[in-house]
Copies of this chain bind each other. A is one copy, B any other.
Amino acid sequence: MELKKLLEQQSAEAWEKYIPSLSIDCVIFSFYENALHVLTVNMKDQNLWGLPGGYVQKDENVDDAAMRILKDRTGTENIYLQQFYTFGNLKRSESAFEAYDDSIWNKQRFVSIGYYALAEHSQVKLRIDQYSNAVEWKLIETLPEFMMDHRAIFDKALLTLREQLNNHPIGYNLLPEKFTMPELQKLYEAILGKKLNRGNFYRKILRYDILIKLDESRKGGAHKAPDLYSFDLTKYNEALKEGLKGNW
């Protein structure tokens, strides 16, 4: 069905079911093929790219709403999910529904709570719902133009990842259980948005004593197989409490 018709049909129910003026947008990150990706949705009829989102039911905690939306989009429940900022400027979203009647649910002013999620690529099953043409992972360096203020929401999410890299288990949640040092470095580089010196990075990360060097190496490839590591979760969590850069 055409998107406009669909939303007009659902409007009365939405007014009944959801907290008015409040929405949720999810910035879902995944790290694979040595690069950081984000989940994007293409909106039916309008051909606009944006972040997956939804609304909060009147009888639902806001955090639970975010988990529900995430599950609808990715088919997964045990993803690291963190609220990071609420976007409340006037006219941030209404323009996408210009052709709609003013009384339609979707055309109201919405204040949107941003959540970021860290997802393991292999566990995510993308679902194209009735509002979307497509759901795609995109490289964070080459994102398409986004609808509404979704670019600002994405930028703030990435900035938050960067600021929280020393206090939250971001590496643990974005990497597979076993990873190589070059993979870990690439992840840090993607989040920090800059190249890091290999020697400095290895020295620093090993000094924290949060990694376990495994008795196995990555198979395949022409070169010497690189060593595999995993996080020592007890030590990692302990170190994050103080901040990875050390104590005052």
Contact = CB atoms under 8 A, between A and B. Distances in A.
Interface of A: 19-22, 56, 58-63, 65, 83, 85-86, 88-90, 109, 111, 113, 163-164, 166-167, 188, 192, 196, 200-201, 204, 243, 245-246, 248
A224 to B, nearest CB: 26
13 contacts: A19-B21, A22-B22, A61-B89, A61-B90, A62-B88, A83-B86, A86-B86, A86-B113, A163-B167, A166-B243, A188-B248, A200-B248, A243-B245
A60 B113 contact: no
- Within the oligomer, what is the number of copies of this chain? 2
A167 B192 CA distance: 14
Instruction: Specify the main secondary structure of chain A where it touches its partner.
Output: mixed
Contacts of A109: 19, 58
Given A59-B90, A65-B88, A192-B248, 17 more contacts: A19-B20, A19-B109, A19-B111, A20-B20, A21-B21, A22-B22, A58-B109, A62-B89, A62-B111, A63-B88, A86-B86, A111-B113, A163-B243, A166-B243, A188-B248, A204-B248, A243-B245
Contacts of A196: 248
A113 B90 contact: no
Contacts of A164: 163
A102 to B, nearest CB: 13
A158 to B, nearest CB: 14
A243 B166 CA distance: 10
Which of A21, A61, A88, A109 has the most CB atoms of chain B within a 10 A radius of its CB? A88
Question: 10 closest pairs, A vs B, by CB?
Answer: A62-B88, A245-B245, A86-B86, A19-B21, A61-B89, A86-B113, A20-B20, A196-B248, A61-B90, A163-B167
